[in-house]
Amino acid sequence: MLDRSIRDQFPIFSVPELKNFAYLDNTATTQKPLRVVERLRQFYAHEYATVHRGVYRLSQESTEYCEETRRLAKQFINAKKLEEIIFVKGTTEAINLVAKTYVKSTIKKGQSILITEMEHHANIVPWQQVCEETGAVLKVAAITDAGELDLDSFKSQLDASTAFVSLVHISNALGTVNPIKQCIDLAHKAGANVLIDGAQSVAHERIDVQALDCDFFCFSSHKMYGPTGVGILYGKYALLDQMPVYETGGDMVETVTFSGTTFQKPPAKFEPGTPAIAEIIGLGEAFGFLNEVGLDNIKAHEDELLAYATEKLSAVPGLRIIGTSKHKSAIISFVLDGVHPHDAGTILDEANVAVRVGHHCAQPVMRRFNIPATIRASFSLYNTQKDVDQLVAGLYKVLEIMQ
């Protein structure tokens, strides 16, 4: 297990009214270490200026801080080129950017886009829109009763018509870790390009986009101990270079006349307007934090917590875990017989336990298991076995009240 001092680095856990707070909603968003909070304060209080084009010192320094985050992102996922790192608002915008530019401009009527039954809405709706606009067909690979990707279903739907595959790395609703390298290789063999939604994986295990050979990879800062409102889209440079612009405005242009406009090369081509400067700088600090703690250490800690929590929760009467893949991240979704998840969440809150209840922006997953919603506990590097015990005690309280 990671040292207790890790938890002490997160100021929210020292708030008096949140004493003994079991925060188990890490899949939705993570808490922020003091160094990230302080970096934001330092920038706004003592270093603030806009980026790009400024000749004065503060502007040049702000620009350099942002570019340092780009360098850290490149290193973190082992991109080949710095220009392959695009700042976006988050995973959702990244997927929409690829859908509305690369895929929409290259796909032909009758071709198909392949996703899976376990996708987040953000990796479903953009593809539906592209299909409606282009005449392409959306195909969906099935998942098993254990919540694993049905590889036979995936393979059977890859054919000469498949133009693009978009696949989640780790399911936010089930915790399933998909065999993305195998899926990428299969997609490429069929002639399709691939986007990987890494929102739930990038802070939990090592990512090497060159080894994976994915064409696009995206993730959000706020799920990896950084600020909200910023994320990263990685794309192979040759693809980014051929993609049409997504949004237009200042800074992403090369020349502007009333007769026409030319655009800069990536990454500037996809970064119009004033960016989320402070948030980008805060993301850089989050990269530093993760590098210092070590992703291997984080994964080992979370795997241990997952095993402990699975054992303890499985002993709760009437509790059924939804998603029992052999390869899971530290996410456990479950239902309690005779108890609506929202009622359970409210009672757990009174016990100072924060869990997520609902469909988790994955309604097709809920339909697959014939349930309206689940209770989801998700673990992070600052969680302990005590948090698990507090959750289990809270669930017994739920059963006492509701049954």
Active centre residues (catalytic): 361
Give the Cα separation of 172 and 213 in Å (integer): 23
3-state DSSP call for residue 171? coil
- Reported as type and span, the H/E element at residue 379 is none
Q: What are phi and psi of 58, to 5 degrees?
A: -60, -40
- CA distances (Å), 164 to each of 15, 160, 212, 238, in order? 47, 11, 16, 16
CB burial of residue 27 (10 Å; 0-12, 13-18, 19+): buried
- CA distances (Å), 159 to each of 103, 112, 163, 164, 190, in order? 17, 9, 9, 11, 6
CB 134 within 8 A of CB 104: yes
Strands (E), 89-180: 112-116, 137-141, 162-168
Whose tokens are 């001092």? That residue is 5
Q: How many residues does the chain have?
A: 403
Neighbours of 52 (CB within 10 A): 16
Whose tokens are 């014939």? That residue is 370
CB-based contacts of 321, cutoff 8 Å, min separation 6 = 310, 313, 314, 332, 333, 334
Q: Crossing angle for the helix pair 295-314 and 385-402, nearest 10 degrees? A: 30
Neighbours of 370 (CB within 10 A): 6
- Reported as type and span, the H/E element at residue 285 is helix 277-293
CA proximity to 295, closest of 86, 89, 77: 77
Instruction: Name residue 193's amino acid.
Output: N
- CA distances (Å), 180 to each of 138, 289, 329, in order? 19, 26, 14
3-state DSSP call for residue 149? strand
Going by DSSP bridges, is the β-strand pair 216-220/231-235 parallel, antiparallel, or unpaired?
antiparallel
